[in-house]
Every structure is written in structure tokens, then in C-alpha cells.
């Protein structure tokens, strides 16, 4: 049974008058995440680390939840890192590179999924950037950019600018056939759309928890397939990434047999408590309800916003390309000014790709979406009249 609207309203006590439509940026925490952090702080002040075994049980539960969400075969394929950028950097540092090899990415990737590959220029590796946002068949274009020297293909599950969802299965099948290492920046996908690491055959998927997973910044899931684990060298070292954690006096050591070999030192247990609560809410509500409600919210928002004169959707219309992001441009307005006007009026969105990026989540009430669309229409009109901010 999904959680009722009343329970969801209590979980997200956003300030009245705030239309929060920036889950693709930084999401609010549910109430239960705040309570988990409060309880963790209380334990730290009164009982200190005498609770450590319980804290580790929370960490294991988080890995189990995330494994379920992405259909990983084991929770021990789900590492916990600092952020998406760190996970991508571990891949770049963990593979061996030869001059003349190339990496294929989308031209419009978020900088975290571009800079890391461009930095491989020092090894003589080239980055091929493929325009995808205006493509009728982005997977075919990405595949066409690959050749015998392509070592890796890295793509966002959904493009951060306009939300375009990519067929990871199609790319994964190709990469596996051609033995190309396949990396997914999943931060705009997991928690918004079904995500299946086995069906997509990705080698690595990485996503910080602060967007569609409703967690805090600074704690990311790092899925590594068994095949990729054998191929990726570690690049950070410490007490925590060894096979015998806690056996401090041994002089010989070996790597942890699982993804924990990428977790070099003390874990972020504060973030773990928050994210475990947030992801628990998604799972309790039911993934299919989360995805369906978000889809309905996007459809509702797009049908309201696109009625505004001069509105042009920059997001794809086909259902298999939709995600939690709707980006709309308004003729005769400057998106930066329009966004400032919106914020003054209580609508919190973002400027991306020359338009306004709106990203509700599944729990966002349709009344809030209707209010936001009304405010947007008034702000667009005020902009066109040249009213001062």
C-alpha cells in the first residue's frame, strides 16, 4: 500500500508558499531523515561509539535498500562514496590507459562526467563528445562514435539539462559485445525512474543521494559489477578497504573481496543514517508508485505550463524519454531573470539549457504544481512587460 497523501504531507513539511521544483538540483529531506539524524546525534552525545554495531547495521541496511532499488545481485556490489564525481574518478584512475584510446560521452554531460575523462588527456586518451539533446536517436549516435580504440562509454541515465532518458539496455548490450567499459552517471535516474544494473549490463553506476533519493549531499552509491571489480585497480588506500578490517596489527593485507575496497577509511555514518531513512521512504511507498506518481506530475506540469503563450518545451515528449525533469523556454524572456522572479514569488526551479528546469518529485501535490504554473504564467507576462524585479 502506498503512503497516504496525509502521511506524505507530514513527511515533507515544506514551508507554505514554497513551490519546490528542484529535485534535480538538491532535494528536501523527508521528516524521517531529519529524525534519524537527530537520533544519531543524540546517541553520539550520550552513548558515543558504544552504538557502533547498530550503526553498522544501518549501513548494511542502506546497501540492501540500494541494491534492491537498482536490482544489484548483492548488497556488497553497492559501495558508499563521497559523491558521483569521486566514483567517476575512481573509474578513470582504476583502468589502465594507452595513448590513442578514446572515451565516448554525450556533449551535454554535467561537468563531473566530462572533466574526469578530459583529464585522461595526459595519457594520450581522447574524449569524443556526441551531441544528444537534439538527436532523434542518441544511442545510435553514441554507438556510431565508438571504434576499435574506444575503451569506455560514459553516459547519464537522464540528461540533467532536459531530462532526456537514455536506453541504457541498448548501450549496455553494445558495450558488452565490443568489450567497452560501460559507466552510468545515474544521479538523475535512480529514484525517479526504474533502474536495473543487470538489465543495463553496466560495469559501474554511481549516484549521490541528494536528488531523487531525497538524502543529504555527500553520500553516493557506487555500484561495481563483479566483472568490473576484477578490472578496476584501487586508487585510495586505508584501514577500511582491506579483507580483514580491524586486524590492525597484521603486516600483510589484501583487498576487500567486494566493492568495499573502494571505501578507504572511516565511513560517513551521519549521512548513512539520513539516506537510509530517505530511501526507506521510497521503498515503503513502493517504487512503482513513486515512478508512476512522478510521471503523472510531469505530465500534469507539462500540460499546464505549455499553455503559457510562447512556451517551448525543451524536454522530449515521448514517454520512454521522459524522466523527472521538464525544461521549458519562454519566448521573449531571459531565463536568468525569469528564474529570479520565480524565486521571489516562491517557485524554486533552476535555469538550464536556455530554459527553466522544473523538477517535482512523486510526493509533490498537484495543487502545488498548479500554483507554480500560475505563478510562472504571471512571471512570464511580467517579464514581457519589462516590469522591474
185, with CB counted inside 10 A (0-12, 13-18, 19+), is: buried
Angle 35-17-213 from CA coordinates, rounded to 5°: 40
Among 102, 162, 188, 272, binds ligand PLP (CB under 6 A): 188
Name the segment binding ligand PLP (CB under 6 A); options: 32-40, 81-89, 163-171, 245-253.
81-89
Residues 258, 263, 264, 265: is their CA dihedral positive or negative?
A: negative
Number of residues that bind ligand PLP (CB under 6 A): 13
Among residues 180, 179, 206, 190, the alpha carbon closest in space to that of 89 is found at 206
160/182 with CB nearer ligand PLP: 160
- Distance set, CA 321 to CA 15, 138, 159, 204, 274 (Å): 32, 11, 10, 22, 31
Name the segment binding ligand PLP (CB under 6 A); options: 47-55, 108-116, 268-276, 341-349.
108-116
Among 113, 304, 315, 327, binds ligand PLP (CB under 6 A): 113
Name the segment binding ligand PLP (CB under 6 A); options: 5-13, 78-86, 238-246, 287-295.
78-86
- Applying CB under 6 A, does 108 fall inside the site for ligand PLP? no
Among 22, 65, 83, 256, binds ligand PLP (CB under 6 A): 83
Residues 199-258 that bind ligand PLP (CB under 6 A): 208, 220
Q: Which helix (DSSP H) or strand (DSSP E) does residue 228 occupy?
A: helix 226-231
Smallest distance from ligand PLP to CB 156, Å = 4
Smallest distance from ligand PLP to CB 357, Å = 10
- Applying CB under 6 A, does 195 fall inside the site for ligand PLP? no
185/383 with CB nearer ligand PLP: 185
Sheet bearing 326-330, strands edge to edge: 311-313, 326-330, 355-358, 350-352
Rounded-to-integer distance, Cα 285 and Cα 386, Å: 45
11/109 with CB nearer ligand PLP: 109
11/339 with CB nearer ligand PLP: 339
- Distance set, CA 151 to CA 113, 159, 186, 212 (Å): 15, 22, 20, 30
Rounded-to-integer distance, Cα 229 and Cα 72, Å: 14
Residues 190, 171 contacting (CB under 8 angstroms): no
Among residues 344, 328, 329, 332, the alpha carbon closest in space to that of 383 is found at 332
Cβ atoms within 10 Å, residue 40: 20
C-alpha cell at 282: 521510497
78/380 with CB nearer ligand PLP: 78
- Applying CB under 6 A, does 185 fall inside the site for ligand PLP? yes
DSSP E strands in 112-219: the ranges are 126-130, 150-156, 181-185, 204-208
101/278 with CB nearer ligand PLP: 278
- Applying CB under 6 A, does 187 fall inside the site for ligand PLP? yes
- Applying CB under 6 A, does 348 fall inside the site for ligand PLP? no
156/364 with CB nearer ligand PLP: 156
Residues 165-184 that bind ligand PLP (CB under 6 A): none
Binding mask 124-163 for ligand PLP (x = CB under 6 A): --------------------------------x---x---
List residues binding ligand PLP (CB under 6 A).
83-85, 110, 112-113, 156, 160, 185, 187-188, 208, 220
Amino acid at each position: 500500500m502506498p503512503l497516504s497523501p496525509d502521511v506524505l504531507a507530514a513527511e515533507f513539511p515544506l514551508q507554505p508558499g514554497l513551490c519546490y521544483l528542484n529535485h534535480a538540483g538538491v532535494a528536501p529531506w523527508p521528516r524521517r531523515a531529519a529524525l534519524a539524524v537527530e537520533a544519531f546525534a543524540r546517541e553520539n552525545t550520550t552513548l558515543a561509539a558504544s552504538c557502533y554495531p547498530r550503526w553498522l547495521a544501518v549501513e548494511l541496511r542502506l546497501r540492501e535498500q540500494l541494491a534492491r532499488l537498482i536490482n544489484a545481485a548483492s548488497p556488497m556490489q553497492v559501495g558508499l562514496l563521497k559523491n558521483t564525481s569521486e566514483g567517476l574518478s575512481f573509474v578513470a584512475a582504476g583502468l589502465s590507459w594507452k595513448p590513442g584510446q578514446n572515451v565516448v560521452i554525450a556533449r551535454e554531460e554535467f561537468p563531473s562526467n566530462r572533466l574526469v575523462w578530459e583529464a585522461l588527456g595526459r595519457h594520450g586518451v581522447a574524449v569524443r563528445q556526441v551531441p544528444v539533446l537534439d538527436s532523434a536517436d542518441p544511442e545510435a549516435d553514441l554507438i556510431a562514435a565508438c571504434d576499435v580504440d574506444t575503451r569506455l562509454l560514459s553516459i547519464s541515465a537522464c540528461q540533467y539539462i532536459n531530462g532526456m532518458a537514455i536506453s541504457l539496455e541498448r548501450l549496455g548490450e553494445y558495450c558488452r559485445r565490443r568489450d567497452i567499459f560501460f559507466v552510468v552517471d545515474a544521479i538523475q535516474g535512480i529514484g525517479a525512474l526504474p533502474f536495473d544494473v543487470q538489465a543495463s549490463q553496466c560495469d559501474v553506476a554511481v549516484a549521490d543521494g541528494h536528488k531523487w533519493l531525497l538524502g543529504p549531499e555527500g553520500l553516493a552509491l557506487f555500484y561495481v559489477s563483479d566483472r568490473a571489480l576484477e578490472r578496476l585497480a584501487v586508487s585510495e588506500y586505508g584501514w577500511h578497504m582491506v579483507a580483514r578490517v580491524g586486524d590492525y596489527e597484521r603486516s600483510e593485507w589484501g583487498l576487500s573481496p567486494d566493492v568495499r575496497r573502494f571505501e578507504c577509511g572511516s565511513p560517513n555514518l551521519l549521512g548513512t543514517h539520513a539516506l537510509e531513512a530517505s530511501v526507506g521512504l521510497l521503498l515503503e511507498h513502493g517504487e512503482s508508485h513513486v515512478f508512476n506518481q512522478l510521471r503523472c506530475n510531469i505530465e500534469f506540469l507539462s500540460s499546464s505550463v505549455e499553455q503559457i503563450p510562447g512556451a517551448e518545451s525543451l524536454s522530449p515528449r515521448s514517454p520512454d524519454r521522459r524522466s523527472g525533469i521538464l525544461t521549458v523556454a519562454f519566448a521573449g524572456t531571459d531565463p536568468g531573470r525569469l528564474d529570479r522572479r520565480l524565486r521571489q514569488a516562491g517557485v524554486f526551479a533552476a535555469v538550464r539549457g536556455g530554459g527553466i528546469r522544473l523538477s517535482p518529485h512523486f510526493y509533490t501535490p498537484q495543487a502545488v504544481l498548479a500554483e507554480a504554473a500560475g505563478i510562472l504564467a504571471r512571471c512570464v507576462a511580467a517579464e514581457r512587460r519589462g516590469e522591474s524585479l
